[in-house]
Amino acid sequence: MGDDDDDEKKAFRLVEKLAMNGNIKAQNNLGNLYYNGVGTEEDLEKSFDWYQKAAENGNEIAMYNLGNLYYNGKGTEKNLEKAFEWYQKAAENDNVEAQSNLALLYENGEGTEKNLEKAFEWYHKAAKNDNKEAQHNLGNLYYNGEGTKEDAFNWYQKAAENGNENSMYSLGNLYDRGEGTKKDSEKAFDWYKKAKENGFKGPLTPPSTFQTTKAVNSEQKKSPFEKSQVLASIQSKTSLETIKTVISAQKCDGSFELSDTISKQLDVSSNEILTSVQNYVTSEKLKKILDPSTWSTAVTLR
């Protein structure tokens, strides 16, 4: 630990010397060291000063960093107009993160007048340079009327594949609703799951029709949405041939035995299907029915 501290202090002194001798990259890096407290005490005001020197000397990364400090009020007074000014300078110097932030200020009317046309323009520049936040926000603009749902889907997909958890969630929604793409409940579920695994904080909207045999085989603790899909899954897989097979197996007392045709289609045993359905029933009256033939008849006719 001591050796690491010594190395950090040596690095700080070297960068500081270069910065004081006019090295522009070193000036920006010195701002980083002060901002993060590496090799020295954290000092946001000194960080601001060095970012400003580097920015005024033409370093586009420092311009972006300075914009961040003005936007968040760190090391200086919060000033959205100044943040806009420095983001714009950095964006015009091809800093992709600044392009995305500049678009956001235009979209929200922060530090400048609201201008969706310019927001779209800057998001598009950043998105084409693989900025996942810009790709997601561009998808939002398209979805909300600046283009087609297909355009929204394409940009959400790019952002999701680049790791943006909000786009993963949005992509799940589009698959679930069949907007901008063919409706696909399994893909919707997969993207909702990825969104959650990648840190999505909002509530997950369950797909409207999650039809999969896994719903029967999975653990017994299910959400209300998942429970409702057990019967839907069985129903969706019932063909005319299945019906003929079921009717031919009607018993003398009028009840039906759950056909092997259904259980084979679902790739689970008849007992597993009946147990799952009984566990998911919410009616207290139905829970009291213990006769297995009643349950198999109900599931068969469903």
Gap between the Cα atoms of 83 and 115, Å rounded? 16
At 238 the pLDDT is: 46
Gap between the Cα atoms of 103 and 300, Å rounded? 57
Per the CB < 8 A criterion, the answer to whether 132 and 164 are in contact is yes
For residue 47, count CB atoms less than 10 angstroms from its CB and return exposed for 0-12, middle for 13-18, buried for 19 or more.
buried
Per the CB < 8 A criterion, the answer to whether 137 and 123 are in contact is yes
DSSP 3-state assignment of 100? Answer: helix
| The dihedral formed by the CA atoms of 171, 175, 176 and 177, expressed in degrees to the nearest 10 | 100
| The dihedral formed by the CA atoms of 258, 260, 263 and 264, expressed in degrees to the nearest 10 | -170
If you average pLDDT over every residue of the chain, what do you get?
Answer: 78
- pLDDT > 70 fraction of the chain, expressed in percent and rounded: 66
At 147 the pLDDT is: 74
Give me the mean pLDDT over the 279-301 stretch. 47
Helix (H) / strand (E) element for 37: namely none
Q: Report pLDDT digits (tens) over 57-80.
A: 999 999 999 999 999 999 999 999
Weakest-pLDDT range from 131-145, 187-201, 267-281: 267-281
| Confidence bin at 268 (pLDDT 50/70/90) | very low
Gap between the Cα atoms of 103 and 127, Å rounded? 11
Amino acid type, 229: Q
Q: Report pLDDT digits (tens) over 91-121.
A: 999 999 999 999 999 999 999 999 999 999 9
At 24 the pLDDT is: 97
The helix, strand and coil proportions of the chain, stated in percent and rounded to the nearest 5, come to 70, 0, 30
At 285 the pLDDT is: 47
DSSP 3-state assignment of 218? Answer: coil
Per the CB < 8 A criterion, the answer to whether 53 and 20 are in contact is no
| pTM for this predicted structure | 0.65
The token pair at 39 is: 């090799």
Q: Report pLDDT digits (tens) over 10-57.
A: 999 999 999 999 999 999 999 999 999 999 999 999 999 999 999 999
At 4 the pLDDT is: 75
At 2 the pLDDT is: 63
Total Cβ atoms within 10 A of residue 70: 25
Angle of helix 24-36 relative to helix 60-72, nearest 10 degrees, comes to: 30
The gap between the terminal CA atoms of the chain, to the nearest Å, is 68
At 260 the pLDDT is: 53
> 176, 116, 113, 188: which is closest to 146 by C-alpha?
116
Give me the mean pLDDT over the 209-231 stretch. 38
Q: Which residues sit opposite 250 in a β-bridge? A: 256
pLDDT at 140 over 60: yes
